[in-house]
Amino acid sequence: MSDYTSLRHHLKQIVKLSGERKTPYNSAEDFILKHGKRFDGQKLQKPWEFDTVKQCFMNSQKLAMSDHTLTYVEGYVMALIPVHHAWCVDLTGEVIDVTLRSAVDGTVYFGCKFQTRYVERCVLRREVWASLLSYGRCPLLTGEHSPSEALQK
């Protein structure tokens, strides 16, 4: 089974175990499966430098908010196992992952691209660097916010 197939299978299993849907999306994984896409990563290239370990949401949100040629992406990466993760992509769709030091050419990522203004709004409202999909009561999962107001096409 390919890394991509394994990653999608993992997400589907989590959705299945989440039980009956009570909101538009019953988990972050459900949202990611419905709105995410595949990205193929590579080793981090210059001028980018690694940032704080185990702080992918903070690192990627700060990066996207400070460089408007980048877009914040949240989803999963296939490391040794599938890991909930955040990274950025540039205008060409190239993965810029300043957190995961083990990423190599062909590392499989699957996630949702967020509009920078939505990221900024969430960070300012919550006053914390955290996952947009699994921190507290997520307005995207409950239907309070629509995907069209949050996601970049």
Tell whether the model's pLDDT for residue 137 goes beyond 80: no
CA separation, residue 75 to residues 16, 24, 42, 46, 47 (Å): 17, 18, 17, 24, 24
**How far is it, in rounded angstroms, from Cα 27 to Cα 18?**
7
Mean pLDDT, residues 23-50? 94
Kindly state the tokens that stand for 147. Answer: 């995907």
**Domain count of the chain?**
1
Q: Band the pLDDT of 136: cuts 50, 70, 90.
A: low
Contact 106, 42 (CB under 8 A): yes
pLDDT tens-digit series, residues 44-97: 999 999 999 999 999 999 999 999 999 999 999 999 899 999 999 999 999 999
- Residue 135, pLDDT > 80, answer no
- What is the average pLDDT across 2-21? 92
Chain centroid to CA 132: 8
Please, are residues 33 and 8 in contact by the beta-carbon 8 Å criterion? Answer: yes
Query: With 70 as the cut, is the pLDDT of residue 152 above it?
Result: yes
Domain that holds residue 36: 3-150
Q: Tell me if the bond preceding 47 is cis, omega within 30° of 0.
A: yes
What pairs with residue 89 in β-bridges? Answer: 71, 95
- Residue 23 or residue 98, greater confidence: 98
Look at 153 and 65; give whichever has higher pLDDT.
65
